[in-house]
Structure 1
Amino acid sequence: MKSIIGTSIKRLFILLMLAVAVGCGSDSSDSSSSSDTETETSDTTGYAIVDTGQEGCYDGDGEEITCPEPGEAFYGQDAQFDGNQPSYTDNGDGTVTDNVTGLTWQQTPVNNGYSYDEALAYCESLALGGYDDWRMPTTKELFSISNFSQGWPYLDTSVFDLAGTAVSKDEQYWTEPYVGTTVEGGSDAAFGVNHGTGHIKAYPAGVSGPMGNYVRAVRGGTSYGINDFVDNGDGTVTDHATGLMWQQADSGSGMDWADALAYAEDSTMADHDDWRLPNIKELQSIVDYSRSPSAIDADNQGPAIDTDYFEITELPSGTTDYDSDYGYFWSSTSAYFGGDSPEYYYAWYVAFGTAVGQDGSDFHGAGAVRFDTKYEGGALGEGGERYYNYVRLVRDADK
């Protein structure tokens, strides 16, 4: 069991690092001088994961199906479990408050491509809704407003505006620096969330203008996205911040998406029979963005997960360009990627090791969120496909 003192120190350290990393906050103005429509946001004490919004069930070829019953193929996918449903308040002043997370968001981003540093400066100077304490969101904060009810965009546009004039793969928004090195960005890369395609990846941080990224500023509590893990001593780990219980070890071998769903349904680990394949937001919640196999600093080298609590299988030597690297992990969430009619023949995954391209180099960054086809021989992916990914199961801790 990890000590309470050790956990508290680690949480304090992460809070301090977040303050340095986002670097975009400023002293707030007197809220009493703002308009009657402003909404106060209090510091968020938990890490409430907003549901993905996915409502349909799909087979391995992307066809929508009647959601399966227990024991049937493809049972246990995203749409069959309800989480914290999205709830927003339009404050009428260019801001939106997320009633689940407690964060307040800039409703309409500026249609301008920024470098990472330019985006930080933009947040620093922003005065909106009677406040000037706007900052750059972390990756977990920005991913919290992603919506997977369909895609393109992966955002509820009845609540949030896009920066661009049309839905495209260029709807990329900065979040936080990447500790590793990437093919495109070298040692100067930063993460972003793409609300056009749904991905999380690392981009070259110094590029601006047409090749730069957008920014959507946030304000509110800085504790959102910070985990509070406890080792239960029975092969499980509880995150008291999210209320989720996790499988401590992973599946130990890769499998396709249908087998991943079946693996979850068949598990009776720690005397619980309600294990499931996590949806993509649940799975992304346990990413540790301070770590990467390609990290420049040796202290940050390793899988993008807290190895004080979780075990993770190391890939065989030669799988990628790194001496130690780790696999991709399936979620239960299907992915839509264009077409005249919705086609969900992909499923989302999180790369807890490097997210490599065809040559085995770190292209998208450890902690990236991408998708692959659900089985070998399925519809063509984007390149560097892995059809057999790992699994880490989850359940609600309070059941």
Structure 2
Amino acid sequence: MNKIKKYISLSAVITTVLFTGCSTVEKIVTVEKVTLPDSGQSVQYDIKGNVLKESKSSLYTGQDASIIGAKLNYHDNGDGTITDLNTGLIWQKAHDFTRRNLEQSQKHVKEMTLGGYTDWRIPTIKELYSIANFDGQLIKPEDEGESKPYIDTKYFDYEYDKRLMFAGQFYSSTLYVKNDIQNFTKNGGLQGVFGFNFSDGHIKSYETGKFFDGTNIEKSDGMFVPGCFVRAVRGTTSLYDMNYVDNGNGTVTDKSTSLIWAKDDSGVKMNWVDALEYAKNSKLSGYSDWRLPNSKELQSLVDYEKKDFPAINTKYFNTTLKSFKSIDDAYYFWTSTTQGDFKYTADYVSFAQAWSKKNSAATEYFDWHGAGAQRSDPKIGNPSDYELASDMASDYISIKNWVRLVRDAKPME
């Protein structure tokens, strides 16, 4: 299989320190330059979800798995913690298999002393997403194959919910600040916080246990808040500083991730197959190595703290859409990453509302998942040909989505 190897600048050093008067040997792991981890996806799929045969077409060469980034790379510290050798963050190896609301989760993490450390915290959504592995897949009981969580189980312990295998939601600390979620009206609606589901490979906004105005949801309100799991983290990383430079040629460099982005979006919507071809044929600013970003690359652009739409820094990036009011204004952007559970779909990241409705029979869509959510759409076809629904929600199917091109910054560039 022919693969394009991206330029990676990373130096991870593992040193051994002996303490005098003590027989204990402590391994200290330092990461000299942080690097955006790859998605981990290693297989290309066609529009029907079958493994794709090698070819020179953009459908093969432009997919996530054909472009190798900074390999997921970890060090087991032997004390219940894992160091990510790309980001420098230190993670809890095993998670407490208990669902709590956000406030309870914060209290639980604050009291942790794992590895002798007391500075554990709930990760941001970008930090949490950094350890996702998109070779994951959730297989239905009636289908062939084996389910694999969206995390490297060689380093991280993971347990499926025995009643609901798809329920692998983990909280981040990133509140959804643009508006409330779902369709409740009491006290301003429901407060949301972003999380990642390591069982089915999606980002969405989950109930925190509070209303949007900060009031606690009580039993008397008649609302059930299932809560999420947590996997704690410690340390900091500069990877998501969003340190942008306008290059004055229609491109923007993010010095934090060493990625160069198109300043403008595609201007028109297209299906996934056309998006791969569009990227392959682009000669923007004289460069011929443009591509669709993978899921982690595209999510790095989301401005989760911005309180209005779109969820991107519009001082640096131009957006075709200026109004975001309905599903007609869905601002979904394609990634090059196939969604592992439904391999006839590819991931997108929403830079405005992430629309869904209560079920397939319902007619009214709400901002169910939040700007910055990562969902998936069929790669080609008509929306009427598909239904991506569950008992809990039915996502808006777009199929024709937007594109923002990316390329790698080369040495001396």
3-state SS in 1 of match to 2:180: coil
Question: In the TM superposition, what is the alpha-carbon distance from 1:115 to its structure 2 partner?
Answer: 0.6
2:204 paired with 1:192: no
- Give the alignment's Cα RMSD to 1 decimal: 2.7
3-state SS in 1 of match to 2:238: coil
Give the number of the structure whose residues are more often strand, by fraction.
2
| Greater mean alpha carbon deviation, residues 180-189 or residues 276-285 | 180-189
Question: In the TM superposition, what is the alpha-carbon distance from 1:376 to its structure 2 partner?
Answer: 2.1
Distance 1:281 1:60 in 2: 21
2:153 paired with 1:157: yes
Contact 2:123 2:232 in 1 (8 A): yes
Distance 2:193 2:367 in 1: 13
| Greater mean alpha carbon deviation, residues 221-230 or residues 204-213 | 204-213
Distance 1:45 1:201 in 2: 32
Distance 1:287 1:387 in 2: 21
1:15-73 CA distance string (max 9 Å, x none): xxxxxxxxxxxxxxxx99x994655466x78652111111111111111112331x454
2:42 paired with 1:55: yes
Instruction: Find 1:365's aligned residue among 363, 367, 370.
Output: 370
2:128 paired with 1:121: no
Higher relative contact order by CA 8 Å / sep ≥ 6: 1 or 2? Answer: 1
Distance 1:54 1:390 in 2: 22
**CA distance change for structure 1 residues 235 and 113 in 2, over 3 Å: closer, same or farther?**
same
1:87-123 CA distance string (max 9 Å, x none): 1111111111111111110011111111111111111
Q: Residue 312 of structure 1 corresponds to which residue in structure 2? A: 319
Which runs of 5 or more structure 2 residues have no equivalent in the other structure? 1-18, 139-148, 211-216, 218-223, 358-363, 390-394
TM-score, normalised via structure 1 length = 0.81
Q: Residue 261 of structure 2 corresponds to which residue in structure 1? A: 246
3-state SS in 2 of match to 1:118: helix
Distance 2:33 2:151 in 1: 23
| Greater mean alpha carbon deviation, residues 353-362 or residues 387-396 | 353-362
**CA distance change for structure 1 residues 150 and 170 in 2, over 3 Å: closer, same or farther?**
closer
Contact 2:272 2:346 in 1 (8 A): yes
2:344 paired with 1:345: yes
Q: Residue 205 of structure 1 corresponds to which residue in structure 2? A: 208
Distance 1:131 1:329 in 2: 39
1:124-164 CA distance string (max 9 Å, x none): 11001111110110001010000011323111112111254
3-state SS in 2 of match to 1:238: strand
Runs of 4+ in structure 1 off by over 4 angstroms are 34-42, 44-47, 71-74, 163-167, 207-210, 315-318
Distance 1:41 1:225 in 2: 21
Instruction: Look at both structures and tell me which one has the larger radius of gyration over its CA atoms.
Output: 2
**CA distance change for structure 1 residues 79 and 165 in 2, over 3 Å: closer, same or farther?**
same
Q: Residue 245 of structure 2 corresponds to which residue in structure 1? A: 230
3-state SS in 2 of match to 1:102: coil
Instruction: Find 2:128's aligned residue among 142, 157, 166.
Output: 142
Q: Residue 379 of structure 2 corresponds to which residue in structure 1? A: 374
Contact 1:47 1:227 in 2 (8 A): no
Distance 2:260 2:36 in 1: 13
Distance 1:109 1:221 in 2: 20
Amino acid at match of 2:345: Y
Count of residues in Structure 1 that have an aligned counterpart in Structure 2 = 351
Distance 1:143 1:257 in 2: 22
TM-score, normalised via structure 2 length = 0.79
**CA distance change for structure 1 residues 244 and 222 in 2, over 3 Å: closer, same or farther?**
closer
Instruction: Find 1:266's aligned residue among 281, 294, 301.
Output: 281
Instruction: Find 1:289's aligned residue among 291, 300, 304.
Output: 304
